[in-house]
Amino acid sequence: MQNTLSSLKPNQSGKIVRIEGGYGLQRKLRTLGIREEKSVKMVARQPIRGPVVIEIDSRQTTIGRGMANKIIVEI
């Protein structure tokens, strides 16, 4: 089942299938280590449309919810 990264619940994991968005967004995410075929885990979602904290490659990073909506994951 495919969903957006922002729709994952805390402690739920998935595999990144694709990243929708322009070249700038994809380049920014790749510098953070977020790319296709990587396993990602939702650590926390901040309330009121705030950022999300994810774990990828055994390290945590924070991205905006708009970016997370463009990352499609397979649960």
Query: 25-69: per-residue pLDDT in tens?
Result: 999 999 999 999 999 999 999 888 889 999 999 999 999 999 999
Task: Report how many helices (DSSP H) and strands (DSSP E) the chain contains, helices first.
Answer: 2, 6
Q: What is the pLDDT of residue 47?
A: 87
Q: How far apart are CA 30 and CA 16, in angstroms?
A: 12
Number of structural domains found in the chain: 1
What confidence category does residue 74 fall into, taking pLDDT thresholds of 50, 70 and 90?
very high
At 66, which CATH number?
2.30.30.90
Domain enclosing residue 14, as ranges: 2-74
Cβ–Cβ under 8 Å, residues 65 and 50: yes
